[in-house]
Amino acid sequence: MDRIKAAVIGYGNIGVCAFDALKESGDMEVAGIVVKPKYLDKLQRELPDYPVVDSIDKLSKVDVALLCIPSVLVPEEAAKILQKGINTVDSYDIHGENLVNMVKRLDSIAKEKGSVSISGAGWDPGTDSMVRAIFEIMAPKGITYTNFGPGMSMGHTVEAKKTPGVKKALSLTVPKGLGFHKRLVYVELAGDARFDAVEKAIKENPYFKKDETHVIPVEDVDRLMDNGHGVLMERKGVAGKTHNQQMEYRLKITNPAVTAQVMVCAARAAMKQKPGSYVPLEIPLIDYLPGDRWEIINRLV
């Protein structure tokens, strides 16, 4: 059976981990890496055995593209690649209506071009949404609380870095309990930037404005960096008419590694779906796994 040819779009924290995960997957291979022109020479020297290009059009054969880029760039990039008839997988992490509306827009493109898109394929909203669904299957009535952290939020860190006057940034998510969080944003200021202006801009950013946010100036952000993260999900609900069903799911992970691994498994699943746009919750779990159907069932059921 031919291996699935996957391109890595972007080579930051997630892109590097996606590259590693693909190399560890027996049924997949790296079709190439797509980066901005300014990174080409350096990466071509570092990875001489793999095609490194500045456009996916320069790769010979791509079945699926892993969009390892900031979430705000995903809608446009996914649409362009789906138009080429290439499947896409992203880890879009802006929850709620933003994700739903993007999936709806991409669905019409994917169906027209015979391609497949899977959006939000990280650990949250990706695999965490599957666990939330399992909780509701077991206890249809009740409340699920999702508590993130403590740990580095990649999406929030990217947004903080984009703030005018910020040289480097790190955004930590700290759980307060019952699904509430606060953000600790450590910033290294650029030049003569004013801290009060930077603080105001970060707190007004849609990524931060809904949560309690503390912006803290530091001399060296790199000394604080740690890609660890986690989640604690709790549900208390009702099964049938029986109350007090309590469930708990806890995760402690290295954020980009697990995000990338889920994306690689979603790339495999994308090859098994009908044309259209999906979120991970909609796809049969068995489609994410390599191997024979009956062997998987025998091992896991």
Query: Which residues are annotated binding-site positions?
Result: 11-14, 68-71, 91-93, 121-125, 173, 183, 229, 255
Closest by CA to 113, choosing from 81, 89, 91, is 81
Helix (H, G, I), strand (E, B) or coil at 36: coil
Amino acid identity, position 281: L
Q: Is the dihedral of CA 11, 22, 273, 56 positive or negative?
A: positive
Residues placed in the known binding site for substrate: 173, 183, 229, 255
CB-CB contact of 159 with 210 (8 Å): no
Q: Can you tell me which residue has the tokens 């996957």?
A: 6
Please measure the distance between the N-terminal and C-terminal CA atoms of the chain and give it in whole angstroms.
Answer: 26
The conformational region for residue 142 under phi > 0 = left, psi -120 to 50 = alpha, else beta, is: left
CB-CB contact of 213 with 202 (8 Å): yes
CB-CB contact of 239 with 139 (8 Å): yes
Closest by CA to 152, choosing from 178, 128, 170, is 170
Which residues partner with 171 through β-bridges? 185
Residues placed in the known binding site for NADP(+): 11-14, 68-71, 91-93, 121-125
Please report how many Cα atoms fall inside a 13 Å half-sphere around the Cα of residue 220, on the Cβ side.
2
